Amino acid sequence: MHMEAQPSCPRMHMEAQPSCPLMHIEAQPSCPTMHMEAQPSCPLMHMEAPPREQAPTPAMEEVAFKGDTVLSDVHLHTPSQRHLMMRLNGTGQPVFLSHFKFVWNQDSQTDSGAEVGDHGGVPTEETPAGTGSTVSPPGSSRSCQGSSLQAGADALCQESVGAQLDEDGDLDVVRRPRAADPKPAGPLRDKVHPMILMQEEDDTPGDDAQESSTLHVIKIEHTMATPLEDVGKQVWRGALFLADYILFQWDLFQGCTILELGAGTGLASIVAATVARTVYCTDVGADLLAMCQRNVALNSHLTAPGGGVVKVRELDWLKDDLCTDPEALFSWSEEDISDLYNHTTIMLAAEVFYDDDLTDALFKTLCRLAHKLKNACTAILSVEKRLNFTLSHLDVTCEAYDRFRASLRRLEQEEDGQLRFAVAPVEASFPQRLAYERIQQLELWKILVEPVT
């Protein structure tokens, strides 16, 4: 145990010689066991950590929302089993079909839950034609179903009071005996069958058996839970709110030429075409406009009796000129442009005020088009005042709505010597004609554009 090992003892020599591979602190490449700076040929002492296993890919049925995913309240408050996928659009997003009921009398309007804050009046998405279901007035069958559910809940509470316990103190569940007759006494429930994804763009779902009931619904294809740039593919409450106003003030729109900016799924344009002569339904994006065109075809039964025509066209707010390329889809013809500028008297926009840049672009486009129109026009804007908590303010704010109101004030104060813009809110006292949740945050604003005399 001599502390200063002699060269004759190779195992205890602290400054190991190259001939001792076991104790050589500065190991040579020939020693794979003690080499501290392991070479790639040494699997035992290689200090580089092995690669981590990648996280498993989530299954299709798992909900995976990204940070920029947006879901409309119209679809959020509707039971998921009512969302029936019809096909995949050009970008691979699932497309759903919704049936929104018309409410034509005050009693049905009350039953549909149109009161502020009541979720009973959410859009009713009916089972597509072919499943044997029929369209019923809002609140008729649902109210009976709710009563039966409440009665069942009360009976369950009464049974739980006198629950039986076994000798160990556990709940003794008495199973209900099976009925002797396997056939139910009442009518069979409708079976819901999965829809087959359709490949052809010309195929439209329908059934002659329910042709008489189609006048009571408006059918809209849409997507759900989209990124922010695709929110136009969803249905929003502001569009239904604007449609209510159109159906109430039908004499204001009758026989007119109407231009809708940022039409999205085209719901408001389709409703306007029931009384108007021509409606230019405009937005951007070939896939969105194709969906718009499909919705127009799905609701031709509503627009045909009055002779209204819906023309789906591209209109980019960030460009000064209309698209006139004949090879481009949804481009403008010279006849369309002439009709637009010579006959348009009403402009519409619903739920397009969610981004400051787009809000500024819309008001710029509205002002530019107003100067090109031959006649005085009225712009009707629908907006929902959304409250959000922001870290920058550490408070609940509504920045998008504030930007919208500021743009209205600037437009009203604009003086160019040619046009005068008069801005006024529309009182939301008109009746509800479509079944959805009408809340206090929904607003309509009217802009009267007249030449300066």
Residue 135: the pLDDT is 34
Cut 0.75: pTM above it = no
Helix (H, G, I), strand (E, B) or coil at 4: coil
Q: Which tens digits make up the pLDDT trace of 334-353?
A: 999 999 999 999 999 999 99
Distance CA 299, CA 56 (A): 44
Average pLDDT over residues 161-186: 62
Distance CA 215, CA 206 (A): 13
187 DSSP 8-state letter: P
> pLDDT at residue 358 above 60?
yes
Distance CA 351, CA 220 (A): 17
Q: Which tens digits make up the pLDDT trace of 277-286?
A: 999 999 999 9
> pLDDT at residue 268 above 90?
yes
Residue 126: the pLDDT is 40
- Quickly state the pLDDT bin for 184 (edges 50, 70, 90): low
Cα 155 to chain centroid, rounded: 39
Token duo for residue 241: 């709110």
Residue from 447, 259, 449 nearest 343 by CA: 259
What's the chain's average pLDDT?
A: 74
Half-sphere exposure for 106 (CA within 13 Å, toward CB): 1
Average pLDDT over residues 75-81: 59
- How distant, in Å, are the alpha carbons of 246, 249, 260, 345 from that of 378? 13, 13, 12, 6
Contact yes or no for 231/93 (Cβ under 8 A): no
Q: Which tens digits make up the pLDDT trace of 145-157?
A: 333 334 444 444 4
Helix (H, G, I), strand (E, B) or coil at 261: strand
Residue 183: the pLDDT is 57
Helix (H, G, I), strand (E, B) or coil at 106: helix
Phi and psi torsions of 312, nearest 5°:
-85, 120
Contact yes or no for 137/110 (Cβ under 8 A): no
Q: Which tens digits make up the pLDDT trace of 304-343?
A: 888 999 999 999 999 999 999 999 999 999 999 999 999 9
- Strands 226-227 and 69-70, by their bridges, are antiparallel
| Number of residues in the chain | 453
Q: Which tens digits make up the pLDDT trace of 13-56?
A: 444 444 444 444 444 444 444 444 444 444 444 455 555 565 55
